Chain A
Amino acid sequence: MPEPSAAEADAPAATGDRPAPGAVRVLTGWGRTSPSAARVLAAGDRAEIGDALRTANGAKRPAVIARGLGRSYGDAAQCAGGLVIDTTGLAGIGPIGEDGVVEVGAGVSLSALMRAGLREGWFVPVTPGTRQVTIGGAVAADIHGKNHHRDGSFCRHVISLTLATPTGVHEISESADPELFWASAGGMGLTGVMLAACIRMRPVETAWMRVDSECHGDLDAVMDALERVDATHRYSVAWLDCSARDRHFGRGVVDAGDHADRSELAAAHRRDPLAPPGDARLRLPFVLPTSLVNGASVAAFNRAWYAKSRSASGRIRHLGGFFHPLDAVADWPRLFGPRGFVQYQFVVPFELAEVVGRAIERLQQASAPCSMAVLKRFGPGDPGPLSFPEAGWTLALDLPVGPPDLRRALREIDELVLAAGGRVYLAKDSRLDAATFAAMYPRLGEFEAVRRRVDPDGLLQSDLSRRLRIGPVE
């Protein structure tokens, strides 16, 4: 039960406050919902972060969270009225050892790490649908990729972490303070500000993928195909047409890929087989005044996409196009107009696969257009108490804010997911309520215990942690 706290009581402005570093900026997540303002400190080095954490307690509203490239869809990297530490200045990439181990700054993007690594034949162990995420963010969300069924999530490939907490800097790993290490894996930055990480990269011969694509006319066929290709491919994912109804309900395209060998490349590509992916070719220069993403445009796009897709095996594609198709257009969320959009991703155990279909059905009932739907099978999860992936089906949906029934529909889907023993992904969440969250993550207590040890004053807070009541309640 939250008590109105005396510390929050209003005092005359700014008496006795320390000089505050950084300018006030309004921040949102990638989905552009729920803006809030905070002082943003662009940290140049570790010492500056240490100072900020030490002195934050003297501020009138002591609250700090780290922010990388702002790719969390919801409110995870914002801290209304507090201090946001921009870590993208921690951009050092060490030499890659013969065993593929590299030490990188927390602000290094997967894109930068890919560029550095590919030249020497190393690829990142796990990549999500964008390469524009920082290492700190990748650890904090314990991100997953198309290879989760085989390689697990990101933190399985993290050998050690350097974490700045209000009680000091910790070097942690699976053997040194494993509780803090695993609490930080998926801990949404609430255990501290990541400074650096040692990561084990994956050896590759080329920057190209050998991809098998299969079109399937309904959800059952898509799910069967995913299960089948998982046994034979390192990477797999299915794109679903959520607008399709009746006998086409849940139709989609399954993509399964593996790293291509040099011998498989066309002669033109064999000369520079490790060429890294390029920059975004297009940019949306401003937020559209109204969303272009609506029921009609989404249905038309989905129909066209499905119609143009062809089953094909053994196609050679560059890994940029295979892993990160959306990175081709920078700032694409601006398409969704000023109201922004919600991403919803859940996982349910394999036995309760029917929740996937029921969720899509409920959204169709709410006339909520779903501009992107991605289905995948997870392998076993990591030990992190707040780490999202666990064995089962995961469905990720992009939903523009607007349909009047969308909020209620998502709450009902929360209930379905919870009843199935599943959960919602925090890196994408912007609307879960505290009680449902606590029920979905039953190991929250374990997480809180670790957090209290390194942050006894509850300095580390984000708008997400406040909304979900993680840590001390205001």
Chain B
Amino acid sequence: MTDAFSRPDSILVLGATSDIARALVGQLVADGCERVVLAGRDPDRLSDAATEAKDAGARLVTTTTFDATQINEAAAVVDWGFSAGGRIDLVVVAVGLLSDQPEDERDPVRVARCISVNFTWPAAALARVAHHLREQGAGRAVVLSSVAGVRVRRSNYIYGSAKAGLDAYARTLNQSLVGSGGSVMVVRPGFVVSRMTEGRKAPPIASTTESVAKDTVRGLERGAAVVWSPTSLQGIFTILRLLPEVIWRRLPF
């Protein structure tokens, strides 16, 4: 069970090979989380993540692989995670793929894949997570959204719109869970220096996976519904969101 500071005893991570997820697992295990269930795509990276969690002090680490383009398997992955962990205090949904937009634009199948991995699969999985949280009468889900979905830019609109969908879905799922004992928290990182953004030019406000993880843990402790990481992005995006389309489309991104 979670303690009064919202630190979980058991976690299920979907998209466990993501750098942000690994940083988050590291901090939660350091804070006393003992059971860690990891699900990810790449078996090698997954076993690295498992070793990392064990080294950090987790007593029980279990892994499985899945493919986020296989929508029909989402529920089974979640069910497996909940049975492997016994009771799951926190589900981290860090599934995501940042691909090359210009190439995606030319290929409708790639567009569909990007939407699938960033929105459809996580949404399907979350529906099943919500079922388990209701049944447990407790537990939380953390959904990795992105500021890219807050005001979608044309240079990144496929990924951005998928994240926008996931963000809205997760926030509203949280409302539907009121009274069930379960809840969902959305985390909106800005540009994070990680494997996902390798080779991309970092903007002035870039953060690290560790600081996103830290902001996430603090958000859990204060019972937040939405966490911005870093916090300053909230102000910036509140203004960006208000810009009229005529100005927005002339901006250089």
List chain B residues, Cβ under 8 A from A26: 179-181
Contact with A along B121-139 (1 / 0, CB 8 A): 0000000000110111111
Contact of B4 among A31, A36, A338 (CB under 8 A): A31
- A140 vs B5: C-alpha distance in the bound complex, in angstroms? 25
CB distance from A289 to the nearest CB of B (A): 12
List chain B residues, Cβ under 8 A from A464: 1
Contact with B along A18-40 (1 / 0, CB 8 A): 00000010100001011111100
Contact with A along B61-88 (1 / 0, CB 8 A): 0100000000000000001001111110
Say yes or no: B180 contacts A401, CB within 8 Å: no
Tell me, yes or no, whether A9 is within 8 Å of chain B by CB: yes
5 contacts between A and B (CB under 8 A): A10-B82, A36-B137, A82-B137, A467-B1, A467-B3
Contact of B138 among A33, A36, A473 (CB under 8 A): A36
Tell me, yes or no, whether B156 is within 8 Å of chain A by CB: no
Tell me, yes or no, whether A198 is within 8 Å of chain B by CB: no
- A474 vs B62: C-alpha distance in the bound complex, in angstroms? 16
Contact with B along A310-346 (1 / 0, CB 8 A): 0000000000000000000000000000111010000
Say yes or no: B132 contacts A339, CB within 8 Å: no
How many residue pairs between the two chains, A and B, have CB atoms under 8 Å in the bound complex? 111
Tell me, yes or no, whether B43 is within 8 Å of chain A by CB: no
Question: Using a CB-CB cutoff of 8 Å, which residues 163-183 of chain B contact chain A?
Answer: 179-182
Say yes or no: A37 contacts B60, CB within 8 Å: no
- A473 vs B84: C-alpha distance in the bound complex, in angstroms? 13
Say yes or no: A466 contacts B5, CB within 8 Å: no
List chain B residues, Cβ under 8 A from A1: 59-60
Question: Using a CB-CB cutoff of 8 Å, which residues 339-377 of chain A contact chain B?
Answer: 339-340, 342
Contact with B along A56-99 (1 / 0, CB 8 A): 00001100000000000011000111100000000000000000
Tell me, yes or no, whether B22 is within 8 Å of chain A by CB: no
Contact of A81 among B35, B138, B221 (CB under 8 A): B138
Q: A10-B83, A61-B136, A339-B222 are in contact. List 9 more A-B contacts (CB 8 A).
A: A2-B59, A9-B83, A10-B82, A74-B4, A80-B139, A81-B136, A407-B5, A407-B31, A464-B1
Tell me, yes or no, whether A431 is within 8 Å of chain B by CB: yes
Tell me, yes or no, whether A285 is within 8 Å of chain B by CB: no
Tell me, yes or no, whether B188 is within 8 Å of chain A by CB: no
List chain A residues, Cβ under 8 A from B87: 8, 466, 474
Contact of A466 among B1, B31, B181, B182 (CB under 8 A): B1
- A286 vs B134: C-alpha distance in the bound complex, in angstroms? 26
CB distance from B203 to the nearest CB of A (A): 27
Tell me, yes or no, whether A109 is within 8 Å of chain B by CB: no
Contact of B221 among A35, A37, A401, A463 (CB under 8 A): A401
Question: Using a CB-CB cutoff of 8 Å, which residues 98-135 of chain B contact chain A?
Answer: 131-132, 134-135
Say yes or no: B138 contacts A463, CB within 8 Å: yes
Tell me, yes or no, whether A263 is within 8 Å of chain B by CB: no
Say yes or no: A80 contacts B136, CB within 8 Å: yes
List chain A residues, Cβ under 8 A from B180: 24, 26, 37
- A80 vs B137: C-alpha distance in the bound complex, in angstroms? 5
List chain A residues, Cβ under 8 A from B32: 433
- A6 vs B132: C-alpha distance in the bound complex, in angstroms? 15
Contact with B along A32-51 (1 / 0, CB 8 A): 01111110000000000000
Say yes or no: B82 contacts A339, CB within 8 Å: no
Tell me, yes or no, whether A15 is within 8 Å of chain B by CB: no
The tally of residues in B whose CB lies under 8 Å from a CB in A reads: 37
Tell me, yes or no, whether B9 is within 8 Å of chain A by CB: yes
The tally of residues in A whose CB lies under 8 Å from a CB in B reads: 45
- A1 vs B60: C-alpha distance in the bound complex, in angstroms? 9
Chain B: which residue is nearest A63 at the CB level? B137
CB distance from A75 to the nearest CB of B (A): 7
CB distance from B125 to the nearest CB of A (A): 14
List chain A residues, Cβ under 8 A from B60: 1-2, 4
List chain B residues, Cβ under 8 A from A13: 131, 135
List chain A residues, Cβ under 8 A from B35: 2
Chain B: which residue is nearest A433 at the CB level? B32
Say yes or no: B137 contacts A34, CB within 8 Å: no
Say yes or no: B3 contacts A430, CB within 8 Å: yes
List chain B residues, Cβ under 8 A from A75: 1
CB distance from B91 to the nearest CB of A (A): 14
Contact of A401 among B5, B83, B132, B137 (CB under 8 A): B5
CB distance from A385 to the nearest CB of B (A): 22
Chain B: which residue is nearest A466 at the CB level? B1
CB distance from B177 to the nearest CB of A (A): 10
Tell me, yes or no, whether A404 is within 8 Å of chain B by CB: yes
Say yes or no: B5 contacts A431, CB within 8 Å: yes
Tell me, yes or no, whether B151 is within 8 Å of chain A by CB: no
Say yes or no: A4 contacts B85, CB within 8 Å: yes
List chain A residues, Cβ under 8 A from B59: 1-2
Say yes or no: B2 contacts A10, CB within 8 Å: no
Say yes or no: B4 contacts A37, CB within 8 Å: no
Say yes or no: A474 contacts B86, CB within 8 Å: yes
- A33 vs B223: C-alpha distance in the bound complex, in angstroms? 10
List chain B residues, Cβ under 8 A from A175: none
CB distance from A245 to the nearest CB of B (A): 26
List chain A residues, Cβ under 8 A from B135: 10, 13, 60-61, 81
Known contacts A5-B86, A10-B79, A474-B87; is A36 also within 8 Å of B3 by CB?
Answer: no
Say yes or no: B136 contacts A467, CB within 8 Å: no
Chain B: which residue is nearest A84 at the CB level? B137
- A181 vs B181: C-alpha distance in the bound complex, in angstroms? 34
